[in-house]
A and B are shown apart, each in its own frame.
Chain A
């Protein structure tokens, strides 16, 4: 016989493992406009494209290049109860900012009317950086996120140091605070499953910091479009470092070749023209042997569903046994 059935209780196991990649995005990629795609506000497009869209997408090259890859979506929003929720100018994207905030609050906090609490304070105005799925993979690895922020004349770092054991679990997935230099006060949050970084405007940056153009951050929040707010954000983040994570769900099949099994081959070269077995005929090695190069996994109807190869021929003879652990990833 050539097939051997698995003992499903003892020969098949499931396991979960993960693969991490280190991602480092520097400001040279996103600080200027050439790698950024701007979206027109669909609802207000007829009123003029200068109203801006809901978000900006940062690419690793020109968005018009077929070789470029989208990295991040950046946007800004405030809650209904924000002090900035006043129609100051016709270009302040008031409705869009509220929609954005409520959308993130709904997904991450489970309630669009909720507000994000950072440093024990309800933060009604926030910047949101969404990492693209192709970059984030399945989730962000906990405890490996670092942002370098440019303030007026200095830089500060914000990281989730220690988050691998101190993260919090909520309806929106796991998250941890981003703290000044890893251990200081909280200035933002990193949501690992959603791949979202939230920065509180007044905690991450002083209100007087020069934002986009000649405006201060405070002035920008009062009267600028989302696009203009995000323009400033892109120029005030020096670096974004994190590790992405791909979760592998695997089934391991233990293919056991006992000492008396699989010692002959149907390979045409196994026998000579007289059908004599080459490895035993005329030899002082009287017992048969074969050389395993391939493992096939089959269903009950003998359909080959998966195939694995070894990196060198494995000798199989009656005086040895072999166990092949075949891993099938999903």
Chain B
């Protein structure tokens, strides 16, 4: 008689994130864990070795050292695992951002102006449609709230480190060729000061200076992520 394999059950200590501590400190009932997800941030799937035996294809992946838990919620779990019932997909849906990068001007893209962004769910293989369970209904958009914001929207939360998070519904009536949804929003620049550029770029750098940041768009159902680099160009009077 053999032993029952118990390797599938683990006991792990969790740490509160900054957001979790803040909500606990509020004492207003806003600390309530109701769902979970898994991540694989440390894993580099390029180490999957197709040229070895079946038992050792993932040996290098399984050797990956794991970081201790981060308490900053913006980096603690970046790449969630995704549930798709069909286990034999060969292509994975992707988030396509248009434009792929944004340049904002401090002077003209703050109060008015701005850049319209569309993030859509696509799939790389033509004539293939998305599995229904990962068609996104809502999108989470994260950005540096001290630098940029979404026109006409309010962030649902701003972390102590200044990351603003918006939750936007999929654009109604829009469907991509893969059967997915789209998310549309307009990005503008916050009111910045010379000191902001001095700190983030350098006081001695030739003007106009440019601040770079990133907007992260995550499909709440699919967990798929699009990262949009943002450049903010200083308004400099010569």
Q: Does A321 contact B (CB under 8 A)?
A: yes
A292 touches B37 (CB 8 A): no
User: Which residue from B10, B17, B82, B134 sits with its C-beta under 8 Å from A306?
Assistant: B17
The number of residues on chain B lying at the interface, defined by a beta carbon within 8 Å of a beta carbon of chain A, is 77
**Is A304 engaged at the interface, CB distance under 8 Å to the other chain?**
yes
A290 at interface, CB cutoff 8 A: yes
Highest count of chain B CB atoms <10 Å: which of A12, A284, A326: A326
Whether A2 pairs with B12 at a CB distance below 8 angstroms is: no
Given the complex of chains A and B, what is the CA–CA distance between A329 and B14 in angstroms? Answer: 8
**In the complex, are the beta carbons of A2 and B9 less than 8 A apart?**
no
Whether A269 pairs with B77 at a CB distance below 8 angstroms is no
Q: Tell me whether B199 is interfacial, beta carbon within 8 Å.
A: no
The residues of A that contact B34 with a CB separation of less than 8 Å are: 5-6, 8, 298-300
Q: Are A327 and B12 in contact, CB atoms less than 8 angstroms apart?
A: yes
| Closest-CB distance, A260 to chain B (whole angstroms) | 5
Contact with B along A99-135 (1 / 0, CB 8 A): 0000000000000000000000000000000000000
**Given the interface contacts A6-B35, A270-B45, A295-B38, does A307 sit within 8 Å of B17 by beta carbon?**
yes
Contact B90–A305 (Cβ < 8 Å): no
Are B83 and A313 closer than 8 Å at their CB atoms?
Answer: no
The answer to whether B45 touches A278 (Cβ under 8 A) is yes
Across the interface, which residues of A come within 8 angstroms of B40, CB to CB?
265, 267, 290-294, 313
Q: Mark A290-330, 1 if CB is under 8 A from B, else 0.
A: 11111111111111111111111111111011111111110
CB neighbors of A among B1-56 (8 A): 8-17, 19-20, 23, 30-46, 48, 50, 54
Pick the interface stretch among B113-121, B183-191, B201-209, B222-230.
B222-230
Q: Which of B60-68, B98-106, B145-153, B169-177 contacts A (4 or more CB under 8 A)?
A: B60-68
Which of A12, A266, A298 neighbours the largest number of chain B CB atoms within 10 Å of its CB?
Answer: A266
Q: Complex formed: what's the CA distance from A325 to B58 in Å? A: 25
Query: Which residues 1-45 of A sit at the B interface, judged by CB distance below 8 A?
Result: 1-6, 8, 12
Least distance between B55 CB and chain A CB atoms (Å): 11
Tell me if A281 is interfacial: C-beta within 8 Å of chain B.
yes
Measured CA separation A317–B83 after assembly (Å)? 11
Q: Indicate with 1 or 0, residue by residue over B115-130, a CB within 8 angstroms of chain A CB atoms.
A: 0000000011100000
A255 interface residue per 8 A CB criterion? yes
Closest 6 CB pairs of A and B: A2-B223, A275-B124, A305-B20, A294-B39, A308-B14, A2-B80
19 further interface pairs, Cβ-Cβ under 8 Å (given A255-B36, A265-B45, A294-B38): A1-B134, A265-B82, A266-B81, A268-B225, A269-B43, A276-B124, A288-B89, A294-B40, A299-B32, A301-B156, A304-B77, A305-B23, A310-B66, A312-B66, A315-B58, A316-B38, A323-B9, A325-B12, A328-B14
A-binding residues in B (CB < 8 A): 8-17, 19-20, 23, 30-46, 48, 50, 54, 57-58, 61-62, 64, 66-71, 73, 76-77, 79-85, 87-92, 94, 123-125, 133-134, 140, 156-157, 165, 167, 220-225
Q: What are some 9 contacts across the A-B interface (CB < 8 A)?
A: A3-B35, A4-B35, A4-B36, A263-B81, A267-B79, A294-B76, A297-B35, A305-B16, A312-B64
